[in-house]
Structure 1
């Protein structure tokens, strides 16, 4: 097992498990965590002994998204390094020649939601939920969400998630087609193991070609989405609404947006 304080990477037989490990802050993402995760997944592509990748979170959350505490300074603006790191991990997960299983053990919010949706199969606990809360801090969805979401659930539902910052419980997410399926909390761990074992025993080369075909058919504009989202976020981080959104988040109050 390779470990750093905020990310665990371990190999068990033919399964590579990547675990976000900041449970005290609901696995809020940092650039270093994301880059280490991307390095591990990227390296596994050339390792014939790795046949499946599992991405999950420690504790009671998958990930709450980017760590907003780093943006508390009102003068913060520009292109956050976390955004580039999220984009890289999403890209690596989609391009990995091995099947990727997201084991969503709790809330998957913001960039954490994008990372989960980048997996090939998404299994969630019934108590988990999916959330794009960017609008609550004066930002727009990123991490490729502007392509990943509408391709899975359609434009109307994607707009509902993006603009209303509505929590989507795992059972509804499964009904919508946002995720593969959901299972009761008490059987979640065993189902993750079962699915990982099934994928590990499957035709890896066929899986890789299937991913390539699905990517080409549905995610051909992912790179364009990364660029549009990055430009939008760079502009939005300079607005008064963003400064107010972050301040309100840290102070646990409702933001007072002015549209400036």
Structure 2
């Protein structure tokens, strides 16, 4: 198993939850190549670790991620042909392909590539002080990181157009009302509450997570009948699974189920620029 290679990202596993923490607090966790390499290593660890059933992504200091580091933007401004060291070649939409749930715990600023990262997670929790910004129109850029797709899928095309074209700050309560985040939690004890939520999710069956992530990913490409037919076949399959039998036994014995771990290889799509 590859250990995270950079102090820009912290990694730890406890009680079924892999904590991946962006760790450039002096730069509001702005993304650079070191962070991207660290994230790739951390997600690779979590994917391959049978003890990591759920991944919790958060940031140290005053914010989640303020976007690309200004040094990176300056380099790209001077030479647009320069490989984008802000992403380190990593496409954050690779998180969607992981068979394990990714929960983004967002406090303070979540902007630019940080917003793309959060939108690639399966679940987003926000602290009361969280705010979300897609700054690209104000920089003369396009909607990067697949945000035109992922943001529209989460909050609808009209709301996505508002965020992308106005480049305005969207606070936690507005983000909740639009469906961008699932819960808004108090600032005090936010990470502890998000970790408790992740531990609750981690008590469920890892194999079910992998199936559900695929179902959710494919839903936009299916009509209802195709989704229903797929679900019926998967139901017949999972009814025969060891996890289902274990869950029924655990209920009869009034204990927590001991589900089969899932491991995988993290192979995110890689950008050419």
Same fold, TM exceeding 0.5?
A: yes
Q: Is the 8 A contact 1:108 1:128 kept in 2?
A: yes
Question: Is residue 2:154 matched to residue 1:119?
Answer: no
Structure 2 unaligned regions, length at least 5 = 223-268
Task: State the distance in 2 between where 1:38 and 1:32 align.
Answer: 10
Q: Which segments of 5 or more consecutive residues in structure 1 lack a partner in the other structure?
A: 221-225, 235-260
Within a 5 Å distance, the mapping from 1:91-240 to structure 2 comes to 91=94, 93-218=95-220
Please give the residue correspondences for 1:17-28 in structure 2 after superposition, counting only pairs within 5 Å.
17-28=19-30
| Shift, 1:180, TM fit | 1.3
Higher Cα Rg: structure 1 or 2? 2
Query: 1:198-222 CA deviation, whole Å, 9 max, x = no partner?
Result: 11111111111100111112389xx
1:170/1:219 CA distance change after superposition, 3 Å: farther
8 A Cα contact 2:19 2:55, kept in partner: yes
Query: Is the contact made by 1:117 and 1:179 (CA closer than 8 Å) also made in structure 2?
Result: no
Report the TM-score when normalising by structure 2: 0.75
1:80 maps to which of 61, 81, 84: 84
Q: Aligned partners of 1:8 and 1:132: how far apart in 2?
A: 26
**2:93 maps to 1:90:** yes
Could you tell me how far 1:186 is from its partner in structure 2?
A: 1.6
How far is 1:41 from its partner?
1.2
Q: What per-residue deviation string (whole Å, max 9, x for no partner) do you get for residues 131-185 of structure 1?
A: 1011121112211211111101111111111111011101110110111111111
What root-mean-square deviation, in Å, do the aligned CA atoms of Structure 1 and Structure 2 show?
A: 2.4
CA deviation after TM superposition for structure 1 residue 97, in Å:
1.0
| SS state at 2:11 partner | strand
Displacement of 1:2 in angstroms is 5.3
Question: What do residues 99-156 of structure 1 show as CA deviations (whole Å, max 9, x unaligned)?
Answer: 1110112210000011011111110101100110111211122112111111011111
Q: Structure 1: how far apart are the matches of 2:48 and 2:215?
A: 20
**Deviations along 1:14-63, whole A, 9 cap, x unmatched?**
21111111111111101221132123213322321111101100001100
Mapped to 1, the partners of 2:8 and 2:99 lie a distance apart of 26
Task: Report the Cα distance in structure 2 between the residues aligned to 1:100 and 1:62, rounded to whole angstroms.
Answer: 15
2:31 match: secondary structure? coil
Cα distance in structure 2, aligned partners of 1:86 and 1:162: 22
TM-score, normalised to structure 1's length? 0.79
Q: Distance in 2 between matches of 1:41 and 1:83?
A: 15
Q: Distance in 1 between matches of 2:133 and 2:173?
A: 14
Kindly tell me the number of residue pairs found equivalent between the two proteins: 223
Change in Cα spacing, 1:9 to 1:49, as seen in structure 2 (3 Å) is same
